[in-house]
A = this chain, B = another copy of it.
C-alpha cells in the first residue's frame, strides 16, 4: 500500500471510493459506541463491587478509636492517610483524604487561592488583575476548564517525550503573574508520557517569581500500569522539599480507576505547612468528608501490595482493549502515513495525531457513524488545537467486540478526512 501523500489523484479517488463504501456500510449498522471518556468498563466495576460488603456491623466502623459514622476528622481518617501515603510514597502527615473526587480537590485548591490566598500569597488571587497558568498540551481538558472558569490566561507548553518543555517553563516562571502549572506526571493524559528523572529534577528545582506558585501534580495514574508491572515513581513532595520548594507542590490522586469512578476516594498531598494553613479554611466548607467510604476503602484495599494486585486484575481487563486499538491502527493507518500515535503502558488513553487539519473532520465522521469520541481540540487550552490534529482515544469503556467495531470506524474516518484534505 502506498502512503496517501504519494498517491496520484486517481489513486486517491479510487481509495476514497473504497473507504467510503466501507464507511457507509458501517453507518448502516446504526451503532452507538463510546470512546469519549476514561470510564472503566462494567467488568472492572464488577471486579470491585465486593467493596460494598466490607463494613456491616457497628464495630466494623471503628478505626484508630474513631467512629467513622459521626462528624469529625476533616482531614480524613488516619488509616486512609497511611494507605495513600504508602501508595504515593509520601508521609501520612502530608495527606488530606477527601470525598469521592480528586477533581473537586483540585478545583477547591484553586478556588481557595482566589478567595483566601495560599500560605505564601501576598493577597487572594481574586484581587489580581491577571493570573497566568502553564498548560502542558496535549493535556487533560478538565484541568484546562478549571483554569478557564477562574479566568486564567492559559499558556500552552509543548509536551515532549520526557515531559513538558522545561526550557520554556523555566523561562515563563520568571513572570510573577505565572501562578501555577498543570501536570499529569505518570502516564500523562492523553499522551501516556512518563516525566523523566531530569524533568522531575528541573521541576522540583524551579524558582518561580510567584511566591505562591502551585505545582498541580495530578498523579491520576500513579498505579495504573496496564501493559507492564508497577513502576515506582519518585515522590514529588520529597523532591520539592529537598530543593526548598516544599510548599509549592499539590499532589492529587484517587481510587476512581481502582474502585468506583466518582464513588471512590480522592486525596491531596502537600506540605504539612500548607495543610496547617488550609485545614481551618477547608473546615469552613465542610465538617468532614465521607469517612465511612474512606474506611471502606482502607478495609478493602488493605495496603499498597494488595492494591497493586488489584491493579493487575484491572490491567488484565484493559490490556486487550488497548491492544485492539493499537493493533487496528498499526494495520490500517500506519502504512498510509496519515497519523502518529503513542504506545502507552499505563493510563487510560491513546493519543493520536492525525494529519494536521483533519481532527475535527475525523470526529464529525465518527459521530455520523455512531462513534462518540472526546471532542477535537479538547486536549488543548480553550479547546483549540492549533494544528487540528490531536485526538484522544479512550478504549476502556466498551467491551472488546464493540471496541473493535468502533476502532474500525475510526480508522475509516481518519482515512476519509486525510483523503479529503489531500484532495479527491
Give me the interface of A with B, judged by CB distance under 8 Å: 37, 39-40, 42, 45-46, 49, 52-53, 55-58, 61, 67-72, 99-101, 103-104, 107-108, 111, 114-116, 126, 142, 145-146, 149-150, 256, 260-263, 281, 284-293
Contacts and interface: CB of A to CB of B under 8 A. Distances in A.
25 contacts: A40-B70, A42-B58, A49-B57, A49-B58, A52-B52, A70-B261, A71-B261, A71-B262, A72-B262, A99-B99, A100-B289, A101-B288, A103-B286, A104-B286, A107-B286, A111-B111, A111-B285, A114-B114, A114-B115, A115-B115, A115-B150, A126-B126, A142-B287, A149-B284, A290-B290
A262 B284 contact: no
A57 B49 CA distance: 7
Contacts of A116: 149
B263 A103 contact: no
Given A99-B290, A292-B52, A45 B71 contact: no
B142 A101 contact: no
A107 to B, nearest CB: 4
B103 A146 contact: no
Given A53-B56, A99-B100, A260 B292 contact: yes
Nearest to A260: B69
Contacts of A142: 284, 287
Query: Taking each of A46, A101, A145, which has the highest tally of chain B beta carbons within 10 Å of its own beta carbon?
Result: A101
